[in-house]
Amino acid sequence: MSHTFDIVIIGGGVVGLTTALALAQKTSLTIALIDTKKLSPEWKKENYDFRVSAISLASQHIFENLGVWDAIKFKRVSAYEKMQVWDESSGTIEFDCEKIGAKSLGHIIEEAVIRSSLLEMIMTQKNIFLYDDINVVSIEKNIESVVVKTQEKELECKLLIAADGGNSWVREQMGISINQMDYQHTAIVCNVQTEFSHEYTAKQKFLNSGPLAFLPLSDTHTCSIVWSVPQSEADLLLTQSDEDFCVSLTNAGIHSLGKILSTTQRYSFPLRMRHAESYVQTRLALVGDAAHTIHPLAGQGVNMGLLDAACLVDVITTALNKHRDYTSLATLRRYERFRKSDNALMLNAVAGFKKIFSSQAKPLTTCRNLGLALINKSDFLKNKFMRHAMGLRDEMPTLTLCQKNNWNF
């Protein structure tokens, strides 16, 4: 059976869901959203999701403007006020929201909370049609339309948006190549109970083997950890008993949190930098991890994807308002121009950061220690870093602008 839509989005992760909701609210286009998994707004309060993200102020504004922030906040968020970064041989840099007159640096939020809140709002939207628990078997891009075939259905559209994550099948089918680099790290992710309160401070220690981050959750003695290590070390940490893993984590030396008392199940993610050579073709746009993946050390992956979504929506609405073809390469290239350079900057900065912190070569460690000391002494530099990470910079998409005309901290 064949169905016709204006836009089909493949991938219902945070970025695909946000793109669908924003397009549905800002235009009268009809949108189909496809995911291989079941998409349900159901959310279970009892346990923390193992996947959490540090959500920037710009991303918070996107959720506010889409009317989902209150639902997210009502479920569960953790505002973090400070961030401490240090390595084994240098002093600590501390970022404090008070220094820029803000109430927090951002929020640590479980992915399940964001997805559920977006889906609740999507269910109320008459111009979004969900096709979940379904496999796409082929995509045919013609001059006039794109035909997406699943085993049972055929969805025809004017524009296809790929939001199907880092291993994007759509990107591959459409022949878009990627620049990639193995970070030679695997991230171990779990939630742990700590002896002392995290005091709403995000902590990241650069160990010789890679960064270890503690992200404060709403319970003051629970943190989500992201421990990035070479694969051989990850294999060891993943096979340890829970008790031994807690000892390893305690010994890794985030002393201000005391002993690690317990852990949830551990999950692992091999880390790879990917950047699509092009984000667009005629009738096709890539957003989120389908276009780029980044090391989690800067906590920027989903924030970058949400900016892609907001920017693409700006470009499409502008084209519609000017009665231009929103599916043309010329229109979509505007989206690519805005986002590709911004994302490349972040990808390069994080790759450089990772390199500097993983080197034990004396000249580099000396430069690193001097650099860290300099940054820590300079409120100007620290404020610049904080504002950039929070998404407070020039030329941001409309959806990131605060409607209340203040920072709403």
Ligand X SMILES: Cc1cc2nc3c(=O)[nH]c(=O)nc-3n(C[C@H](O)[C@H](O)[C@H](O)COP(=O)(O)OP(=O)(O)OC[C@H]3O[C@@H](n4cnc5c(N)ncnc54)[C@H](O)[C@@H]3O)c2cc1C
Q: Which of 226, 313, 315, 399 binds ligand X (CB under 6 A)?
A: 226
| Identity of the residue, 311 or 319, whose beta carbon is nearer to ligand X in the bound complex | 311
Q: Which of 8, 119, 136, 160 binds ligand X (CB under 6 A)?
A: 136
The bridge status of strand 267-276 relative to strand 178-194 is antiparallel
| Identity of the residue, 113 or 319, whose beta carbon is nearer to ligand X in the bound complex | 113
Q: Where in 302-321 is the site for ligand X (CB under 6 A)? A: 302-303, 305
Q: How far is the CB of 405 from ligand X (least distance, A)?
A: 26
Q: Is 15 left (phi over 0), alpha (psi -120 to 50) or beta?
A: alpha
Place of tokens 């790929």: 162
| Identity of the residue, 102 or 286, whose beta carbon is nearer to ligand X in the bound complex | 286
Number of continuous H segments (helices) and E segments (strands) in the chain: 11, 22
Q: Which of 7, 8, 9, 14 binds ligand X (CB under 6 A)?
A: 14
Q: How far is the CB of 190 from ligand X (least distance, A)?
A: 10
Closest CA to 157 of 124, 121, 129, 132: 129
| Identity of the residue, 35 or 81, whose beta carbon is nearer to ligand X in the bound complex | 35
| The two structure tokens encoding residue 197 | 């309160």
* Burial grade of 394 (CB within 10 A; 0-12, 13-18, 19 or more): exposed
Closest CA to 364 of 85, 87, 94: 87
Q: How far is the CB of 397 from ligand X (least distance, A)?
A: 16
Question: What 3-state class would DSSP assign to 34?
Answer: strand
Q: Which of 164, 233, 314, 336 binds ligand X (CB under 6 A)?
A: 164
Q: Which of 210, 211, 216, 288 binds ligand X (CB under 6 A)?
A: 288
389: DSSP letter = H
Amino acid at site 154: E
> Contact between 11 and ligand X (CB under 6 A)?
yes
| Identity of the residue, 71 or 288, whose beta carbon is nearer to ligand X in the bound complex | 288
Q: How far is the CB of 365 from ligand X (least distance, A)?
A: 26
CB-closest chain residue to ligand X: 13
